[in-house]
Amino acid sequence: MIIVMQAEAAQSDLEHVVARVEGLGLRPHVIVGTERTVVAVVGDERNAQMSGLETLPGVASVLPILAPYKVASLEVQSEPTVVQAGPLVVGGGRVGVIAGPCSVESREQIVQTARAVKEAGALGLRGGAFKPRTSPYSFQGLKEQGLELLAEAREATGLAIVTEVVSPEDVPLVARYADVLQVGARNMQNYRLLEAVGRTRVPVLLKRGPAATVEELLLAAEYILDAGNRQVMLCERGIRTFETHTRFTLPLATVPWLHARTHLPVVVDPSHGTGHANLVESMAAASVAAGADGLIVEVHPDPKCAASDGGQTLDIPAFRRMMDVCRRVAAAVGRTLG
């Protein structure tokens, strides 16, 4: 941590800062510059009570130096984590594809979709049974019945089931059916839920909140890792910006940035990331080119009749075309799709 003093700070201010840093069990180094004096602080700045330092008289600002996450860091584990759930492999040169409808609607819908996406090369089946919806007046999902239909689709196809869990008390129930527990963007900082999925040994797909920084995403993962579950996939699904022509803005530079800092694999969701079916193929291909370890894509046999998210959902032929392009792009960057 670096404490920058104000230009007009008094010597007594500086002494006060130094004393306080020592009181926190850290070692201060005072450096007198031509315009400013700074205090470089040596020691683990993560646990100490830092936030009061910037209110001390004479302090201009406080700059952290250490990244606040640990277990997720490449400094702790340098080889990439590969997440495996049934046939689905994410990471380590394999680009795993998860596809399926926004919501589970009926046996026919989910089984038909599962067969089609499997044939096109997907290894995971997504489908929401518990749906967090912005409006209380929207369809909220089939709940446990939806989980049962997902299990039937798995039996029919062998695909790994990826489905969302929205509350800590549901974790045991959902974990009985799911091969991957999805923590949605709205729940990225629902810490009780993170701890609850962290106590299972079921792989977790953790979606970035639309206003979360990448450091906050890593810290949310840290809650899961810290609870003992190491099978965590990070998912970029778009952030809120001033852009309105897409539902969210999909910042693919997240992928190489995360790869330079964490061993956890990175999945991209081009469906929520764009919000428009006609942009999904391009952004799926771009995600693979950027180095994504996985894709999660909304697919429905008849998007215009989907119970939710129809506008961003591919139909089966469009998904097949997307897979063809992504397979070629994966090969171009030295990876294998599916």
In whole angstroms, the minimum distance from the beta carbon of 218 to its own copies comes to 10
Under the binding rule (CB under 8 A), the answer on residue 46 touching its own copies is yes
> How many residues appear in the chain?
338
Window contacting its own copies (CB under 8 A); options: 90-98, 109-117, 174-182, 278-286: 278-286
- Tell me how far apart the alpha carbons of residues 182 and 203 are, in angstroms, rounded to a whole number: 9
- Applying CB under 8 A, among 190, 200, 229, 271 the residue interacting with its own copies is 190
Site string for its own copies, 104-133 (x = CB under 8 A): ----------------------------xx
How many angstroms separate the Cα of 102 from the Cα of each of 12, 16, 131, 194, 325? Answer: 61, 57, 9, 22, 23
Under the binding rule (CB under 8 A), the answer on residue 68 touching its own copies is yes
Under the binding rule (CB under 8 A), the answer on residue 10 touching its own copies is no
- Tell me how far apart the alpha carbons of residues 328 and 330 are, in angstroms, rounded to a whole number: 5
Helix (H), strand (E) at residue 90: strand 88-90
Q: Strands 88-90, 83-85: parallel, antiparallel or unpaired by DSSP?
A: antiparallel
Instruction: Count the site residues for its own copies by CB under 8 A.
Output: 111
| DSSP for 101-117, written as a single string | -SB---HHHHHHHHHHH
Site for its own copies in 141-180 (CB under 8 A): 166-169
- Amino acid residing at 279: L
- Applying CB under 8 A, among 233, 288, 297, 337 the residue interacting with its own copies is 288
Under the binding rule (CB under 8 A), the answer on residue 255 touching its own copies is yes
- Tell me how far apart the alpha carbons of residues 335 and 78 are, in angstroms, rounded to a whole number: 20
In whole angstroms, the minimum distance from the beta carbon of 81 to its own copies comes to 18
Under the binding rule (CB under 8 A), the answer on residue 278 touching its own copies is yes
- Applying CB under 8 A, among 10, 12, 19, 54 the residue interacting with its own copies is 54
Window contacting its own copies (CB under 8 A); options: 53-61, 80-88, 118-126, 228-236: 53-61
Farthest CA pair distance, the chain: 76
What contacts 164, CB < 8 A, 6 or more positions away? 128, 129, 130, 131, 132, 174, 181, 182, 183, 184
Specify burial of residue 69 (Cβ count, 10 A radius: 0-12, 13-18, 19+): buried
DSSP letter at 306 equals: -
Window contacting its own copies (CB under 8 A); options: 80-88, 93-101, 150-158, 216-224: 216-224
CB atoms within 10 A of CB 29: 12
Window contacting its own copies (CB under 8 A); options: 80-88, 171-179, 228-236, 309-317: 309-317
Instruction: Kindly tell me which of 17 and 89 has the beta carbon lying closer to its own copies.
Output: 17
Window contacting its own copies (CB under 8 A); options: 87-95, 112-120, 134-142, 157-165: 134-142
Site for its own copies in 16-35 (CB under 8 A): 20, 29, 31-35
Under the binding rule (CB under 8 A), the answer on residue 290 touching its own copies is yes
In whole angstroms, the minimum distance from the beta carbon of 28 to its own copies comes to 10
